[in-house]
Structure 1
Amino acid sequence: MEVRRIGLGPGETYTLRLPGRGARGYVWTWQVTGDEDAVTVAVADAGPGAERGPLPGEAVERAYTLRGRRPGARARIRFAQIRPPYPQEAPYDELLLEVEVHGKR
């Protein structure tokens, strides 16, 4: 599992782009732990081709926008690429993002 560390200021954003495998039934999920109100996570524009939809077999990149909220807070966001019909399977890919929001509490 890849681990990345980033720092954000309150209101500052960071866009995370993750490779897609939608043609094979995989989707990205995320879970925030630690100071859960440290950041928000929102699905962003998926990039080129998003408006037309994927072509058969095409991998579509997924983008997520994180926004720092509470100064001095820390959160861990675990992104996992899974196939929802098969929850017992291990994720195809995972990423752990450790986020620190700069500033004083």
Structure 2
Amino acid sequence: MEVRSIVLGPDEPYELRLTGRGARGYVWTWQVTGDADVVTVDEAPVGRAAPEAAPPPGAAVERAYVVRGRAPGGGRARIRFAQVRPPYPDEAPYDEFVLDVEVVSVTGAA
């Protein structure tokens, strides 16, 4: 499990790319803890150059997520991404990624 720490200002975005295994039934989920109201997390589209560039069946597909600091800022949140298979909720995640986010206030003080 990788852990990464970042600092964001209010309304500042951070794009995170994670390798997906959707063809094998896995999806990325996320849970925000700490000061959960200081960040938002949204899945972002991942563009392809052309339709013929689609990956072959069963191939890993990259997923993109945008984490954004929320105004007015000032707080810390931990986002735990887990790659799971929804039909098997008791199964351990295939992969995990933790993002520690500090959102600084407009004046720069946390």
When the two chains are superposed, the root-mean-square deviation of aligned CA atoms in Å is 2.0
- Per-residue CA deviations over 1:69-91 (Å, capped at 9, x if unaligned) read 14211100000000011111100
- Which consecutive aligned stretches of 4+ in structure 1 deviate over 6 angstroms post-superposition? 49-53
Q: Among all aligned residue pairs of Structure 1 and Structure 2, give the percentage whose two residues are the same amino acid.
A: 69
Give the aligned partner of residue 88 of structure 1. Answer: 90
Structure 1: unaligned runs, 5 residues or longer? none
Distance (whole Å) between structure 2 residues aligned to residue 32 and residue 51 of structure 1: 34
Distance (whole Å) between structure 2 residues aligned to residue 50 and residue 79 of structure 1: 29
- Report the AA paired with residue 100 of structure 1: E
1 or 2, which has the higher helix percentage?
2
Q: Please report the TM-score for the alignment, with normalisation by the length of structure 1.
A: 0.90
* Number of equivalenced pairs: 105
Structure 2: unaligned runs, 5 residues or longer? none
CA separation of 1:51 and 1:13: change in aligned 2, threshold 3 A: farther
Give the aligned partner of residue 58 of structure 1. Answer: 59
Q: Tell me, yes or no, if the aligned pair for 1:46 and 1:60 is still in contact at 8 Å.
A: no
- Distance apart, 1:55 and its partner CA: 3.5
SS at match of 1:61: strand
Distance (whole Å) between structure 2 residues aligned to residue 50 and residue 30 of structure 1: 29
Q: Max radius of gyration: which structure?
A: 2
* 1:1-105 equivalence runs, <5 A: 1-48=1-48, 54-69=55-70, 70-103=72-105, 104=109
Q: Please report the TM-score for the alignment, with normalisation by the length of structure 2.
A: 0.86
